[in-house]
């Protein structure tokens, strides 16, 4: 089982790093006018890692204890850069839990994207410290409690934005 956990940790770490790298580039303006579909791709790809974590048995740490890591890096500069890039499409409405809490809640894409990044970074810190099981535990736990919801909400919002940009076009006039 140890080899299977390590292989899963390697895959999730790869997805996490790819998401962080892509998000950082897009927040810096690298995506230009294609930022929304590119963000959609980034969120969809990291969501695959989350679904893999959901499909395996619960990761349980020995002694049910997470080793201390110290302070996580400040992601507020990333969040602020995303706010600047997203502008008027940053705010949207979401139903937090369609089974338990059906009230519409205001959300921000920048907050969602940064929340996912923060949880992935925390797990990567365990992974890079040579503790793949702790990384998996964190990623799985935080997927169910934090970043899975934020990624899902962002995925729905981004898909809607991309669809609107493609489908909400003025009717073309034809020349006879």
Q: Are 16 and 126 in contact (CB under 8 A)?
A: no
Q: Is pLDDT above 70 for 176?
A: no
- Structural domains in the chain, CATH included, are 2-167 (1.20.120.1550)
Entry pTM: 0.88
Q: What confidence score (pLDDT) does residue 64 get?
A: 67
Q: What confidence score (pLDDT) does residue 1 get?
A: 60
Quickly state the pLDDT bin for 122 (edges 50, 70, 90). very high
pLDDT in tens, 70-121: 888 899 999 999 999 999 999 999 876 778 878 888 999 999 999 999 999 9
Q: What confidence score (pLDDT) does residue 40 get?
A: 97
Q: What confidence score (pLDDT) does residue 70 get?
A: 80
Please state, in angstroms and rounded to a whole number, the distance separating the CA atoms of residues 136 and 163. Answer: 34
In the predicted model, what is the mean pLDDT of residues 32-52? Answer: 95
Quickly state the pLDDT bin for 142 (edges 50, 70, 90). very high
Q: What confidence score (pLDDT) does residue 166 get?
A: 84
């Amino acid at each position: 089982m140890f080899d299977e956990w390590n292989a899963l940790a390697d895959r999730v770490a790869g997805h996490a790093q790819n998401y962080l790298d892509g998000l950082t580039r897009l927040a810096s303006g690298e995506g230009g006018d294609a930022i929304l579909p590119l963000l959609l791709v980034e969120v969809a790809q990291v969501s695959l890692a989350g679904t893999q974590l959901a499909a395996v048995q619960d990761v349980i740490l020995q002694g049910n204890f997470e080793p201390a890591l110290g302070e996580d890096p400040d992601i507020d500069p990333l969040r602020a850069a995303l706010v600047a890039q997203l502008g008027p499409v940053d705010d949207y409405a979401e139903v937090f839990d369609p089974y338990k809490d059906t009230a519409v809640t205001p959300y921000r894409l920048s907050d969602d994207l940064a929340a996912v990044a923060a949880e992935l970074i925390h797990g990567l810190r365990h992974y890079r410290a040579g503790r793949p099981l702790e990384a998996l535990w964190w990623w799985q736990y935080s997927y169910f409690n934090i970043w899975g919801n934020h990624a899902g909400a962002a995925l729905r919002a981004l898909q809607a934005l991309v669809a609107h940009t493609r489908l909400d076009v003025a009717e073309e006039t034809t020349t006879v």
